[in-house]
Amino acid sequence: ITSFISDRGCKSSQPIDMTFCEGACDTYSKYSASAASMHLACSDGTIKTYNYIYVDKCDCRTTSCGDVIHCSKNN
């Protein structure tokens, strides 16, 4: 999804790709994300730095259980 970012009266000058993971995994999901930032132009003429999370990759992982009490995640 490509969208403009707005925050407290400030807005991005260009749309950015809003990345996310979707769907379901049988056991648990893992994603790789990095911090990103951009400048927003505010209605009072100031520029504000806005930080957000950019998702690089989504993945499903399995969980192996030896018994009901103890489970471990496989990487």
Q: What span, in angstroms and rounded, lies between the C-alpha atoms of 67 and 16? A: 46
pTM of the model: 0.59
Which strands make up the sheet holding 47-61, listed edge to edge?
Answer: 6-7, 10-12, 28-42, 47-61
The pLDDT value recorded for residue 7 is 94
Cα(75)–Cα(69) distance, rounded to whole angstroms?
20
Kindly report, residue by residue over 11-67, the tens digit of the pLDDT.
999 998 888 777 887 766 676 677 888 999 999 999 999 988 888 788 887 776 665
> Residues 15, 4: contact at Cβ < 8 Å?
yes
Nearest to 74 by CA among 65, 66, 62: 62
